[in-house]
Chains A and B, each alone.
Chain A
Amino acid sequence: MTDSSGPLLAVDGTPLKRKLAQSMFRSRARAFGLALPLLAFIIVVFVYPILDFLRQSVYDARFATLMPATSEAIADWDGSTAPTEEMAAALVADLVVAKKEKTIGKVATRVNRELSGTRSLFTKTARNAKKMKHPYMEALIKKDKDWADIETWHAMKTASRVYTPAYIAAALDRKMLADGSIVQQSEERRIHVQLFARTMEISFLVTIFCLILGYPIAFLMASLPLRTSNLLLILVLLPFWTSLLVRTTAWIAMLQAQGVMNDLFVVFGLATDEDRFSLIYNKTGTLIAMTHILLPFMILPLFSVMKTIPPSYVRAAKSMGATDWTAFWRVYFPQSVPGIGAGALLVFILAIGYYITPALVGGQDGQMVSNIIDFHMRKSLNWNLAAALGLVMLVFVMFLFWVYDRVVGIDNMKLG
């Protein structure tokens, strides 16, 4: 009674907040219990693998574990003086073990990533390592004069780091030198930044095309009577229920040089038989097919937002003297913006990670980041670089999401 500023108490004297928490505990525990199986499933098969994989973008212990002596010896080396005899001895000792354990291939691959052309140097030297005698440095150089090149040792020093920014640097067309500094790759080896830019460009264009094509359809669906709009909705959803692969291959049949579209162009005299348009296996093909496939993701959020805009707004605008266009642009359109936001974000984020369609119809200049990630996963087996590319893309998408939230506001987005 005297201390009115203190916490509110329940009748039995316990603080009201704690009392509330106690009474809420059961229902919360129940809710958590219901969500638990899914939560566990997601953590085990989704969150953990992703984090573990992303770790590979900065973590690579292969060289350090397979060549322990060399890694230790090279760690003390400053990189500017000549390689020491001690390092050479450690290297030869490690090579002998690596040869015996048949792990030399992995070591050679790892160093080759830092300095191409070193793969055969390692495998070749490892075959003779057993016979090498003191002084080891001379023995190595006698076997191959590349061992005299300080770059080879630099490459090993870089490879020996367990936690390394080298892969992320590579994903951004940078290269880490032995002294830890990061420089830009030589011009002809810069591919990733350009690839990211192209991925952005394709995603952006696909989003724009989807908006241009989807907005009128959504508008029509929202203004037609229920029966007709349901029919249209089914037509929009129809491709959804068709396999992605089928739709993509259908576009190949449509767009290829001897395909339906080009045949029509020839018939109507828009192209000659010898000089047909190349509509596929390039960026055009990727754009057309992706726009078609992602269109429902634009139409559905737009439709669900437009459905909630009462027709009386446009009527009110017209009764006040606005022409059809003014009523649309000043009154209807601003209210459909949350739908545009949701649709655009959905399409853009789906497009940025698109894989099958560019792989099938993209040709050379229609490839996107996900295709190069796939290449590193399955062909070059450079999982670390694949992880680094994925990380860069994830960070970038999150950045875009943040920008979107600042500009449009995530609360302004409506999915239905």
Chain B
Amino acid sequence: MAEAQTKAFVEFQRVQKSYDGEVLVVKDLNLAIPRGEFLTMLGPSGSGKTTCLMMLAGFETATHGEILLDGKPINNIPPHKRGIGMVFQNYALFPHMTVGENLSFPLEVRKFGKSRRETKVKRALDMVEMGDFISRRPAQLSGGQQQRIALARALVFEPELVLMDEPLGALDKQLREKMQFEITDLAHKLGITVVYVTHDQTEALTMSDRVAVFNDGVIQQIAPPDELYESPENSFVAQFIGENNTLEGVVKEIKNGVALVELDSGDLIDCKPVNVTKPGERTRVSIRPERVEYNKDRLQKGVHTLQAEVLEFIYMGDIFRTRLRVAGNDEFIIKTRNAPDQVRLTPGTQIEIGWMPEDCRALEA
């Protein structure tokens, strides 16, 4: 991280953006992206992530602050001189040109010679395994094929930075997973820096080196995927990334890095204090469904347990999903692996559940 700060390739410095002069869409954004990183901007719609991407591409101007590319401010450089490759949400392939002409376009405007253009176009198409489609029109291609062409077109002029604005949004699930892998693979092979915008958290987790979670114009947390998932720094991130069970209560005491929380139902549990500091504070406790344990043998000795009633059992193939009533919360979910020895809970039974204190994070209310 320290290295990233010194060698930032893309840098946002105190960037603010407002469209109407009344509401800030992006509030005081600071972000440094080192060369070669795959960074994903993740957030719900209206969180400011796309606006950030458009400011970087040059289609929107920052209301305040500087955006630096390779150390140089680019606020006053028009988009066509920034040399940034871009993949758009609906691919934006030019319908009146063939695949070859589409790829040739960025090279033509750069005044490359014909033979050089042809080699580069061919190489880019081979890279996405679409070499046979050079004379087709975009309308004759499937969604996945269009996606590959859009990718090849953004890469054909060999930019160092490529921006992607929800490029897989229009594809079905299987194809999306395949393309996720292909895009990351390609990005690492070419050593390019990628800024990727999505609202799909699975996509963000599987593809990125780091994920910046946006909400309300502010980066809530920026971290590698595993850190983001396992150690969310606030309630928003905890809720937004993956599935989460929340219980509300008050901090009774904090000692030895463990917080004792009294839930509103009166039950006591042990938690890891993340952003609670002193007893008496209200807190929202978050536990991942797959970290909840109901097999007494596997529970650590001495941890607090809670009584739960099974409300619903859903068979999902690879996992079982069970809905419980815990401390007055009817939406408490646990997930268990479909293993031969796994118990299938029947609705109506009373069970006892518990977890490791470090998996249970006490966040701000």
Q: Which residues of A contact B (CB under 8 A)?
A: 310, 312-313, 315-324, 326-327, 330-331, 334-335
CB pairs A–B below 8 angstroms (9 shown): A316-B86, A317-B94, A319-B85, A320-B106, A320-B109, A320-B153, A321-B80, A321-B157, A322-B80
Q: Are A321 and B88 in contact (CB under 8 A)?
A: no
Interface size on B, residues (CB 8 A): 27
Q: Are A335 and B80 in contact (CB under 8 A)?
A: no
Q: Which residues of B contact A (CB under 8 A)?
A: 57-59, 78-86, 88-90, 92, 94-96, 105-106, 109-110, 153-154, 157, 163
> In the bound complex, how far is the Cα of B85 from the Cα of A83, in angstroms?
91
- Within the complex, the shortest CB–CB distance from A362 to chain B, in Å, comes to 41
> In the bound complex, how far is the Cα of B311 from the Cα of A272, in angstroms?
96
Q: Are B109 and A319 in contact (CB under 8 A)?
A: no
Given contacts A319-B82, A319-B163, A335-B96, 15 further A-B contacts (CB under 8 A): A312-B89, A313-B94, A315-B57, A315-B88, A316-B88, A316-B94, A317-B105, A318-B78, A319-B154, A320-B86, A321-B80, A321-B81, A322-B80, A322-B106, A322-B109
Q: CB-CB < 8 A to A323: which residues of B? A: 80, 109
Closest residue on chain B to residue A327 by CB atoms: B80
> In the bound complex, how far is the Cα of B106 from the Cα of A327, in angstroms?
11
Q: Are A322 and B86 in contact (CB under 8 A)?
A: no
Q: Are B57 and A319 in contact (CB under 8 A)?
A: yes
- Within the complex, the shortest CB–CB distance from A339 to chain B, in Å, comes to 14
Out of A312, A326, A330, A335, name the residue touching B88 (CB < 8 Å).
A312
Whether A322 contacts B105 in the complex (CB less than 8 A), given A312-B89, A316-B88, comes out as yes
- Within the complex, the shortest CB–CB distance from A98 to chain B, in Å, comes to 69
> In the bound complex, how far is the Cα of B250 from the Cα of A171, in angstroms?
99
- Within the complex, the shortest CB–CB distance from A253 to chain B, in Å, comes to 44
Q: CB-CB < 8 A to B57: which residues of A? A: 315, 319
Whether A315 contacts B79 in the complex (CB less than 8 A), given A321-B109, A334-B96, comes out as yes
Q: Are B94 and A318 in contact (CB under 8 A)?
A: no
Q: CB-CB < 8 A to B94: which residues of A? A: 313, 316-317, 331
- Within the complex, the shortest CB–CB distance from B158 to chain A, in Å, comes to 12
Q: Are A330 and B80 in contact (CB under 8 A)?
A: no
> In the bound complex, how far is the Cα of B182 from the Cα of A231, in angstroms?
47
Q: Are B79 and A312 in contact (CB under 8 A)?
A: no
Out of B80, B92, B157, name the residue touching A312 (CB < 8 Å).
B92
> In the bound complex, how far is the Cα of B82 from the Cα of A316, in angstroms?
13
> In the bound complex, how far is the Cα of B60 from the Cα of A315, in angstroms?
11
